[in-house]
Amino acid sequence: MNKPPHHYHLCPLCGFEFERTETHCADGCPMGKFCNLIRCPNCQYEFPAEPRLLGWVRRLFCREPSKATQREMVGLHELEVGEQGELVCLSCEQHARRNALAVYGLVPGIRLVLQQKRPTFVLRVGETELALESDIAREIFVKRIPHEHAAATAGGVTPA
């Protein structure tokens, strides 16, 4: 189901955990692609990555910080089909793309249901069904909503 948790970073500022692959240093950094700061998609705070060796050591001797399913926030692509989530943040670099999602009501705090992943992501926000490419889905971070809560709040029907 979910990939084993590796390369996860913990933001020192807000405690948000995220995958390395989806984060880059902000545009316009004078160091360009040599910059090895990573940016938290939640609070936009930039911090240096944990050295790889240290990561290995930590993983060897410490327990995994948390399982993927328990982590606070996941990318939309990590939700199961039929699962509900509450949108936490959009990490899109381009303003236009972020706003393109916002006009469908996709702003922090909104509840959504992931309806399918293949061949293209489809999610439902309110009564709008929205199809998105996986690239965009990866930039949407949500908090899982456990099923018992889900039924009470947004309720309703999702494809089996």
Partner 1 sequence: MKGSQDTATLNGERAAATAQQAGIVLVGNPNVGKSVLFSKLTGKFVIISNYPGTTVEIARGETRLNGEAVAVIDTPGVNELASRTGDAQVTCDVLRDRPAATIVQVADAKNLRRALLLTLQLAELGRPQMLVLNMMDELDRCGGRIDIRKLSELLGIPVVPTVATAGTGIHLLQKNVAAARKASDFVAHAVVPSGDPGADYDRNVERLKRVNEIMGQCYTLDRPRHPTFAQKLGWWATDPLRGTLLLALALYFMFWFVGLVGAGTFVNFFEEVVFHRHISPWAIRAVDAVLPFPHQHAMEPSEYKLEIPFTPTRGIELMTSTRETLAPKYSLSAGATLSWWQQALRFIHDFLVGEYGAITMAFSYGFAIVLPIVATFFLVFSLLEDSGYLPRLAVMVNRLFRGMGLNGKAVLPMVLGLGCDTMATMTTRILETRKERVITTLLLALAVPCSAQLGVLMAMMARISYPAAAFWVLLMVGVAFAVGWLAARVHPGARSDFIMELPPMRLPQFGNIAIKTLARLEWYLTEVIPLFVLGTAILFFLDRLDLLAKMARVCEPLVKGWLGLPPETANAFLIGFLRRDYGAVYLLNAATGANPTLSAHQVLVAMVTITLFMPCIATMFMISRELGKRTALWITLFIFPFAFFVGGVVHRLQHVLGF
Q: What is the DSSP string of 36-103?
A: -EEE-TTT--EEEPPPHHHHHHHHHHS--S--TTTSSEEEGGGSPTT-EEEEEEE--SSHHHHHHHHT
Residue selected from 37, 100, 102, 107 as contacting Zn ion according to rule CB under 5 A: 37
Residue selected from 45, 86, 107, 143 as contacting partner 1 according to rule CB under 8 A: 107
Which CB sits closer to partner 1, 3 or 95? 95
Q: Does 29 bind Zn ion (CB under 5 A)?
A: yes
Number of residues binding to Zn ion, judged by CB under 5 A = 4
What whole-number distance in Å separates Cα of residue 153 and Cα of residue 122?
A: 20
Which CB sits closer to partner 1, 45 or 104? 104
- The answer to whether 143 and 115 have CB atoms below 8 angstroms apart is no
Least separation in angstroms between residue 93's CB and partner 1 is 12
Distant-in-sequence, close-in-space partners of 60: CB < 8 Å, separation ≥ 6: none
Q: Does 35 bind Zn ion (CB under 5 A)?
A: yes
Least separation in angstroms between residue 82's CB and partner 1 is 11
Can you give the binding site for partner 1, defined by CB under 8 A? Answer: 95-105, 107-110, 115-116, 118-120, 122, 126-133, 135-136, 155-157, 159
